[in-house]
């Protein structure tokens, strides 16, 4: 198997996803990988042409067309690295390393999959939903809960609906969909689902994931969460993204190397 090395890829498009210009979808072409890319994995991106910012940024893969080599990331502008990305235009080059990290586990077509995305936790979970439907999973058995503070935090909803899945938008202020925390909406739905054939997948802000982990453990369901963390190296060397282990007190797990996908109950969130 060939080693994973940095690649300079051509930007195909870099488009705004909201009126405020906080959310973007960036697609590069010509991304080649010696292995398949699965939902949950990420790429490590040099966001600037020079050395400022010096460190790469980690972004979950939002979609990948293996035949064309087109890889998409979805990002929110939160600092210098993502601000630099907004300046990328068609035919610019972008330096990426990947795929890195692990994946969401393979799921049976007989399972009901409950997917919970919060804010910018959407990308790997959209990829997961598309991956499942492309492989024949009944869209009606994919329950997708997408939460944000307001409607403005919910992006690409049309794209989600086109998958034909059971889509459930939620906002804290009630400006769109269910009014309240996304985990409250999930808790109501879990009451009608059987534990044996239901699997939960989540990604989003840590308070949301902590609440989801508590809910899942208390109700006896099983699942996985994808954690977000600063990843200076992306390969497990710098230890800048460690999280305490719940199963083995005193031990730590690296989000970039041991994750970013963990079994619910595996790490302290």
68 lies in a domain?
Answer: yes
Shared domain for 213 and 248, answered yes or no, is: yes
Shared domain for 200 and 79, answered yes or no, is: no
57-60 and 261-263 beta bridge pairing: unpaired
Residue ending a domain, among 73, 100, 127, is 100
Residue ending a domain, among 55, 76, 100, is 100
Nearest to 17 by CA among 71, 68, 77: 77
105 lies in a domain?
Answer: no
Domain, as residue range, for 162: 112-263
206 lies in a domain?
Answer: yes
Shared domain for 126 and 226, answered yes or no, is: yes
Residue ending a domain, among 100, 123, 157, is 100
25 lies in a domain?
Answer: yes
- Beta-strand ranges (E) seen in the chain are 7-16, 23-29, 42-46, 57-60, 63-65, 70-76, 93-100, 112-118, 142-148, 166-171, 178-179, 198-203, 222-226, 242-244, 252-254, 261-263
Three-state DSSP state, 97: strand
pTM: predicted TM-score of the whole model, two decimal places: 0.95
Shared domain for 125 and 96, answered yes or no, is: no
The Cα-based distances of 230 to 173, 217, 233 in angstroms read 29, 26, 9
pLDDT of residue 5: 81
pLDDT of residue 179: 97
CATH number assigned to the domain comprising residue 76: 2.40.30.10
Contact 133, 163 (CB under 8 A): yes
Digit-by-digit pLDDT tens for the chain (269 residues) are: 356 788 999 999 999 999 999 999 999 999 988 788 999 999 999 988 777 788 899 999 999 998 889 999 999 999 999 999 999 999 999 999 999 999 999 999 999 999 999 999 999 999 999 999 999 999 999 999 999 999 999 999 999 999 999 999 999 999 999 999 999 999 999 999 999 999 999 999 999 999 999 999 999 999 999 998 888 898 889 988 999 999 898 999 999 999 999 999 999 99
pLDDT of residue 3: 67
268 lies in a domain?
Answer: no
The domain total for the chain is 2
Per residue in 52-65, is it b (16+ CB within 10 Å) or e — as a string?
ebebbbbbbbbbbe
Shared domain for 58 and 168, answered yes or no, is: no
pLDDT of residue 1: 37
178-179 and 198-203 beta bridge pairing: unpaired
């Amino acid at each position: 198997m060939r080693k994973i090395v940095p690649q300079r890829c051509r930007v195909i498009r870099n488009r705004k996803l909201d009126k405020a210009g906080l959310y973007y979808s960036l697609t590069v072409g010509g991304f080649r990988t010696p292995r398949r890319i699965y939902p949950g994995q990420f790429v490590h991106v040099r966001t600037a042409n020079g050395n400022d910012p010096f460190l790469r940024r980690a972004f979950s893969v939002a979609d990948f067309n293996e035949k064309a080599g087109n890889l998409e990331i979805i990002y929110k502008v939160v600092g210098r690295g993502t601000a630099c990305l907004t300046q990328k235009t068609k035919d610019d080059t972008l330096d990426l390393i990947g795929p890195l990290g692990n994946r969401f586990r393979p799921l049976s077509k007989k399972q009901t999959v409950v997917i919970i995305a919060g804010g910018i936790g959407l990308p790997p979970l959209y990829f997961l939903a598309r991956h499942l439907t492309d492989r024949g999973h009944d869209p009606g058995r994919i329950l997708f809960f997408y939460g944000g503070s307001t409607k403005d935090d919910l992006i690409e909803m049309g794209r989600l609906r086109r998958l034909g899945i059971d889509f459930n938008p939620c906002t804290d202020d009630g400006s769109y969909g269910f009014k309240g925390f996304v985990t409250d909406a999930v808790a109501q739905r879990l009451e009608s689902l059987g534990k044996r054939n239901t699997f939960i997948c989540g990604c989003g802000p840590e308070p949301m994931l902590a609440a989801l982990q508590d809910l899942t453990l208390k109700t006896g369901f099983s699942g996985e969460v994808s954690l977000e963390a600063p990843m200076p190296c992306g390969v497990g060397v710098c230890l800048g993204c460690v999280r305490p282990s719940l199963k083995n007190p005193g031990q730590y797990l690296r989000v970039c190397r041991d994750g970013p996908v963990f079994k619910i109950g595996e790490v302290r969130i």
